């Protein structure tokens, strides 16, 4: 492959060279998804990680170009931008405790990205997730199909894992759907959680279901408690890469993502976790499920929580 061919590959920028950003870059490279630019405010960090990753290419068999930088000019003309910049949680903190500091970081990152890329697809990972995507949308002015957040793929992966552990069955047969905000009031849907097409409502007792649902809601905090110095990064990184794979390879996978609602599920002007179809232009469509009264009540509670956090973002934007 000559350098001209290398330049025609998709350009993916990863903002933040910390735990999540590094994992995203590594998995993007291993999956040969495009050339990768890693940017961070810390000098040397993105350059060092980029060089280390590039040097693994001949061993892992990928030839994507990996660049590390502190200069947003190097992010010019990105096709996809993943924003992981910001603080992770400490034990005892909720995601919402990060809003003030991370909102300012996400605002400044988005402004600088948009100076150099006209029409990227932005995927936000920084927490509190739903409010941070809301900030990025308000600042970028991107159309709603080109800006989304990563949460539902991760929360569903956690539910899938806990179901397989509870039933002592293979992970690969388990599928799951988690809607709502990326917080304690997220809405795992047992009716739409299956093992080889069979709903867990037929395979598990109510007590078992409650156990896996509760562990899913607290899945992020469980990892924070164990790590003590940071939050999860391997499953979050893998979740982002599944989304990018569906976008860049135009797979139209139906995945739970944080999308901008304009009346779907009865809510508007908020970002919220819903099933979407992901194609080369971003979100092709939002899937509206028929929910039961109790599922809808849980969804409304989660949306109210998200809306309250977004009010803090509005206040920062107005200041
Ligand atoms: N521009 C670019 N990078 C920044 C900026 C900024 N303005 N501010 C902070 N960063 C960088 C930090 O220098 C650090 O390298 O963001 C990186 C964050 O990395 P970690 O501290 O390792 O955090 P990580 O575990 O990757 O989590 C990042 O994702 O899942 C969420 O809650 C998590 O909000 C957190 C984010």
How does pLDDT run across 243-284, given as a tens digit for each residue?
A: 999 999 999 999 999 999 999 999 999 999 999 999 999 999
pTM of the shown model: 0.96
Kindly indicate the confidence band of residue 4, based on its pLDDT and cuts at 50, 70 and 90.
low
CA gap 160, 171 in Å, rounded:
7
Residue nearest to atom 34 of ligand 1 (CA): 126
Q: Residue 107 above 90 pLDDT?
A: yes
pLDDT tens digits, 280-298: 999 999 999 999 999 999 9
Kindly indicate the confidence band of residue 68, based on its pLDDT and cuts at 50, 70 and 90.
very high
Mean of the per-residue pLDDT values of the chain: 96
Residues near ligand 1 (Cβ within 6 A): 15-21, 40-42, 45, 84-89, 98, 102, 105, 108-109, 125-127, 230-231, 233, 236
Question: Is position 182 annotated as part of the catalytic site?
Answer: yes
Alpha-carbon separation of residue 141 from 48, 114, 137 (angstroms): 33, 9, 6
pLDDT of the residue at 1? 47
Q: Which ligand 1 atom sits closest to the C-alpha of 95? A: 32
CA gap 319, 313 in Å, rounded:
10
Q: In the predicted model, what is the mean pLDDT of residues 191-206?
A: 98
Q: Where are the beta strands (DSSP E) in 130-286?
A: 147-149, 174-175, 178-179, 187-188, 194-195, 198-199, 253-262, 268-279, 282-286
- Candidate list 9, 182, 217, 242, residue with the active-site label: 182
Domains of the chain: 3-149 (3.40.50.720), 152-318 (3.90.110.10)
Kindly indicate the confidence band of residue 2, based on its pLDDT and cuts at 50, 70 and 90.
low
DSSP bridge partners of 279: 282
């Amino acid at each position: 492959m000559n350098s001209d061919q290398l330049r025609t590959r998709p350009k993916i920028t990863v903002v933040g060279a910390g735990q999540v950003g590094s994992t995203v870059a590594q998995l993007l490279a291993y999956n040969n998804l495009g050339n990768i630019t890693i940017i961070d405010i810390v000098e040397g960090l993105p350059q060092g990680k980029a060089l280390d990753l590039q040097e693994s290419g001949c061993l892992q068999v990928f030839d994507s170009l990996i660049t590390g930088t502190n200069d947003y000019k190097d992010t010019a003309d990105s096709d996809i931008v993943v924003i992981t910049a910001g603080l992770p949680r400490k034990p005892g903190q909720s995601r919402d405790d990060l809003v003030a500091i991370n909102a300012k970081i996400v605002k400044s990152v988005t402004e600088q990205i948009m100076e150099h890329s006209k029409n990227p697809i932005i995927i936000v990972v920084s927490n509190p997730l739903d409010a941070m995507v809301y900030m990025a949308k308000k600042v970028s002015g991107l159309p709603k199909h080109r800006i989304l957040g990563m949460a539902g793929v991760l929360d569903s992966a956690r539910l899938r894992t806990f179901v397989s552990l509870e039933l002592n069955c293979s992970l690969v047969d388990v599928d799951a759907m988690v809607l709502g905000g990326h917080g304690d009031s997220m809405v795992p849907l047992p009716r739409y959680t299956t093992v080889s097409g069979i709903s867990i409502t037929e395979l598990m007792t109510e007590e078992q279901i409650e156990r896996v649902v509760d562990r899913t809601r607290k899945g992020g905090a469980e990892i924070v408690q164990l790590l003590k110095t940071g939050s999860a990064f391997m499953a979050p990184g893998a979740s982002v890469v599944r989304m990018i794979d569906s976008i860049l390879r135009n797979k139209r996978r139906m995945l739970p993502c944080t999308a901008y609602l304009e009346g779907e599920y009865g809510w508007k002007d908020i970002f919220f976790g819903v099933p979407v179809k992901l194609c080369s232009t971003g979100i092709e469509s939002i899937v509206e499920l028929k929910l039961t009264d109790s599922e809808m009540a849980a969804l409304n509670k989660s949306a109210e929580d998200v809306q309250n956090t977004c009010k803090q973002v509005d206040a920062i934007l107005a200041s």
